[in-house]
Chain A
Amino acid sequence: MSSTGGLASSAARIEIAQRPRNRPYAEMSSGRMLLCQTGVGIAILAAWQLVSGRLLDNFFISNPVDVGLRLWAWSVSGYIFVHLWVTFYETMAGFVFGSLIGVLLGIWLGVAVFTSRLLNPFLFGFYALPKIALAPLFVLWFGLGMESKIALSTIIVFFLVFFNTYAGVREVDVDLINSVRLMKGTRLHLLRLVIVPSSMGWIFAGLKISVPYALIGAIVGELIASNRGLGFLVQFAGAEFDTTGVFAVLIVIGLLAIGLNFVVDITQRRLERWKIVSH
């Protein structure tokens, strides 16, 4: 054992000794990497600024200084926050409703074999339909306000969460179910102690991927017909030939998406630490 251990560790030592020489950049510390990343960001902005008005018309690509000034002005006046709040609200509402219905229906159909076989073709038919195409219908039904965007976002989230939950419930270990039944567990016990916790990983995976889709649903809904929200703003600026405005809104949308992903990551780490979801 000692001889193989020695060999292995000396081999490892050689590898470690060689690594910095062969791949010095890949092994860079996170702090220095951040510095480099900032450098790349600045370079992109500088290139954009330089190209604008010289190689490409300012009308088409605007420039970072103007975009920055616009964002500043919007922030000071509070104008952007009104629209940001509307889009955020629609996204969250769509996410919450969609995932709630998705989880409940996913569990129900996962358990009720007859019903799931019965509804299978209809669900898949509906799933195959690009949900974005429902937007005009929702505007008709729910009007120009937030409700139609929430509906669109809800239906998109629903399918993602539903299919994941359903798959998770179908994957539950039959032996665990049987062992709880043998220990005199009731149906409610099965649901609470076996089915829900064991599908938690799948359900969370569905929730995770649906966060950006909830945002897409809200924004697409706003693009089609609305008078508030970031989607409306980008549409409005485009119609006014205001490229600076379009870029400013795109940056806000990007920041919102990054923020939402950040929250998802934090939640995932928490759930893993509590063993609700395994890595």
Chain B
Amino acid sequence: MIELRALHKTFEKGSEPVEAVRDIDLAIEQGSIVSLIGPSGCGKSTLLHMIAGLYEPTQGMVVYNGKPVVSVNTAVGYMTQKDNLFPWRTVQDNVALPFELAGQPREERRRSAREILKRVGLTGFETRYPSELSGGMRKRASLARMLLYRPETFLLDEPFAALDAQLKLAMHDLLLRLWAADRQTILLVTHDLVEAITLSDRVIVLTQRPARVVLDQPVDLPRPRDVLTVRFTERFKEIYDSLWERLRLEYEEERL
């Protein structure tokens, strides 16, 4: 359970303070998938940073499983917009890093790394370096790292943005299947409304900066969902329309 209580974040950049997050109250149930959607630069990443304990809130607090988050929250795995791969490590050693930190023997952790790399379609690239991969491949390697070490909560900041349509669907399917087995809590930042509805139990619409919650839409589509067909159901369309109606207002404001 992740609780955000009256959360504020203001950055002191130079002389002018920038308010990124304003008064957010949210509770995210254990084992649910929740998407955050909103205009670019609205403070979604700031929110994830606070949940991970990398930013300190200006006011309010983040409570994780009943305990206030005061320093780095090692219960969460955080996939930021940057892939955060180590340029001097091969892909497999990047993916196996969390196991290396845990002291697992080299051959064992490499074997599991190769297995997960196969599932994200990176077979044949295990011993390459990140600089030899395309942006989408690096994203997948970064995702593989998180899927491999299975923290109890995933924070995903636009994890699939750099992927083409087919690959995106394959990754959605992989994520849902792994989630069905492990039931992690997943908090996902995305710009893709279809992706948000396909994956989530709830979609939360945020305003432009400073981010506030304007709509908290439950997604009551039955699970397991077929990522290929769920988007063509009647219920999906209704949810999409109700979200889009609210989101449009935010985007229109942005356009002005």
Contacts and interface: CB of A to CB of B under 8 A. Distances in A.
A201 to B, nearest CB: 9
A175 B80 contact: yes
B123 to A, nearest CB: 21
A23 interface: no
Contacts of B78: 178-179, 182
Contact of A184 (B74, B86, B87): B74
Interface string B55-92: 00000000000000000111011101010101110000
B102 A184 contact: yes
A275 to B, nearest CB: 5
B31 interface: no
A53 B58 CA distance: 84
B72 A276 contact: no
A180 interface: yes
B24 interface: no
Interface string A161-179: 0000000000000011011
A276 B88 CA distance: 7
Nearest to B102: A184
B73 A184 contact: no
A200 interface: yes
B84 A175 contact: yes
A182 B72 contact: yes
Given A178-B54, A193-B97, A183 B86 contact: no
A275 B149 contact: no
A189 B97 CA distance: 11
Interface string B27-66: 0000000000000000000000000101000000000000
A175 B102 contact: no
B98 interface: yes
A278 B87 contact: yes
A193 to B, nearest CB: 7
Contacts of B131: 278
Contacts of A194: 86
A212 interface: no
A182 B52 contact: yes
A181 B88 contact: no
Contact of A189 (B82, B86, B101): B101
Given A178-B54, A275-B129, A183 B74 contact: yes
Given A184-B102, A189-B101, A275-B129, A179 B84 contact: yes
Nearest to A181: B72
Interface string A267-279: 0000000011010
Contact of A176 (B74, B84, B98): B84
Nearest to B81: A175
A198 interface: yes
Contacts of A197: 86, 88
B87 A183 contact: no
A182 B87 contact: no
Contact of A183 (B54, B80, B88, B149): B149
Interface in B207-256: none
A275 B91 CA distance: 13
Nearest to B86: A176
A203 to B, nearest CB: 13
Given A179-B78, A200-B88, A275-B88, A184 B52 contact: no
B198 to A, nearest CB: 27
Interface of B: 52, 54, 72-74, 76-78, 80, 82, 84, 86-88, 97-98, 100-102, 129, 131, 149
13 contacts: A178-B54, A178-B72, A181-B72, A182-B78, A183-B97, A183-B101, A183-B149, A184-B74, A184-B98, A186-B101, A198-B86, A200-B88, A278-B131
- A-B complex: 7 closest residue pairs judged by Cβ atoms: A183-B98, A181-B72, A179-B84, A184-B74, A185-B101, A197-B88, A175-B84
Given A175-B84, A184-B74, A197-B86, 16 more contacts: A175-B82, A178-B52, A178-B54, A178-B78, A179-B84, A180-B97, A181-B72, A181-B74, A182-B54, A182-B74, A183-B77, A183-B97, A189-B101, A193-B97, A198-B86, A275-B88
